[in-house]
């Protein structure tokens, strides 16, 4: 018996370890095949370009020939002290603040109205409010170019009828108005998106909870304030995050409507990068600007995730 056992056992172990080796090899192969293509595309076309532009940002480079005109941090200092860049940064921040204080509350109010009001026809309203989101930005921009046209544009024809004594305005030609006009287009296009986010969030709040609060004698305002809104917290935090990043993203609507004008008064980060980095082929300088913007958004995002979003997400991948 003993003899048999000693003969069988090692062989069995040997087999098992070979099986395990094989399984490990299979697993490694599978991981490689599954992960490699996606990661290569991601690294090659998103992350490596950004990393590469760090050394480039230290050179004066017009895109041709080797990097040889080393200027140190000059590109950074000249960007940060550039009046137009500062203005562009300021405009992007203004758009962001307006989105957070006007667009999102509007979207939230509508979501509450449509998700909690039990109004007949609410899915029609929801659909109509969402329509602009499916239009491309270029279509949106061109439609609004007509709306804002100084002579015979929609607004300048309609407003005098609605508001007696209204004088036509050059919406996109007025340095003080242009940013707000642009913001109107952005709101028109994106508020439906945030509304849908909020409606989905509202759907996942159990109705019993609000009902229970009512039974306990809370009025509608208190139900909203102490039950519904806190339960909607994670959706609101996500929508704020997307809205902030989205504000820094704006390019097409502004480019088509004003190209950043008049006199840079609607210049934003992306139009600035395009005009002063790419069109003029100041690729070294443009790289520096890109890195600055990258740093700003990364600091914001990481801080926001760490402090605010963290509790909303499940366990991280380890």
Partner 1 sequence: MAARQLQSSFLTALKYIVLIALCLIVMGPVVTAILGSIRTNGEFLSAPFGLPQNGIQWANYIDILLNPTFWNFMKNSFTITVTVTALNVSLASLLAFVFTRIEFRGRGLLFNILSLGLLFPIVIAFLPIFIQVRQLGLLNNPFGVILPLVAGGLPGSVVILRGFFIQIPNELEDASYIDGCTTFDFFIHILLPLARPALTAVAVLQVIASWNEFFLPLLVLNDEKLWPLPLGMQQFQGQYSTDWSRIMAYVTLLIIPAVLFYLVAERYIVTGLTGGELKG
Q: Find the length of the chain.
A: 318
What is the smallest separation between the CB atom of 300 and partner 1, expressed in angstroms?
9
Q: Across-strand partners of 70?
A: 59
**Closest CB to partner 1 among residues 9, 113:** 113
The rounded distance, in Å, linking the Cα atoms of 302 and 311 is 14
**Closest CB to partner 1 among residues 6, 32:** 32
What is the smallest separation between the CB atom of 255 and partner 1, expressed in angstroms?
8
What is the smallest separation between the CB atom of 240 and partner 1, expressed in angstroms?
13
**Closest CB to partner 1 among residues 9, 109:** 109
**Closest CB to partner 1 among residues 74, 149:** 149
**Closest CB to partner 1 among residues 216, 316:** 316
């Amino acid at each position: 018996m003993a003899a048999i056992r000693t003969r069988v056992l090692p062989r069995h172990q040997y087999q098992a370890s070979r099986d395990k080796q094989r399984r490990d090899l299979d697993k490694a192969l599978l991981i490689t095949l599954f992960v490699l293509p996606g990661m290569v595309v991601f690294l090659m076309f998103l992350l490596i370009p950004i990393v590469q532009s760090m050394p480039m940002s230290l050179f004066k480079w017009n895109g041709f020939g080797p990097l040889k005109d080393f200027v140190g941090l000059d590109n950074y200092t000249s960007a940060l002290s550039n009046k137009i860049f500062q203005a562009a940064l300021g405009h992007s921040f203004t758009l962001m603040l307006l989105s957070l204080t006007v667009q999102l509350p509007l979207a939230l109010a509508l979501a509450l109205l449509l998700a909690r009001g039990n109004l007949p026809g609410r899915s029609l309203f929801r659909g109509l409010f969402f329509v602009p989101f499916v239009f491309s930005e270029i279509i949106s921009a061109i439609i609004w170019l007509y709306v804002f046209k100084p002579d015979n544009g929609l607004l300048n024809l309609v407003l005098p009828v609605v508001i007696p004594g209204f004088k036509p305005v050059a919406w996109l030609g007025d340095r003080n108005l242009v940013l707000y006009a642009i913001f109107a287009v952005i709101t028109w296009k994106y508020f439906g998106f945030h509304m849908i986010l909020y409606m989905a969030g509202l759907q996942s709040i159990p109705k019993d909870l609000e009902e229970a609060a009512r039974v306990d004698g809370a009025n509608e305002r208190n139900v909203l304030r102490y039950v519904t809104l806190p339960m909607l917290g994670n959706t609101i935090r996500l929508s704020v995050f997307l809205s902030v990043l989205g504000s820094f993203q704006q390019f097409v609507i502004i480019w088509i409507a004003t190209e950043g004008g008049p006199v840079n008064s609607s210049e934003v980060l992306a139009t600035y990068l395009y005009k002063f980095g790419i069109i003029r082929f100041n690729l070294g300088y443009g790289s520096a600007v890109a890195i600055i913007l990258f740093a700003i958004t990364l600091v914001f995002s990481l801080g926001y995730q760490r402090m605010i979003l963290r509790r909303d997400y499940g366990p991280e991948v380890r």
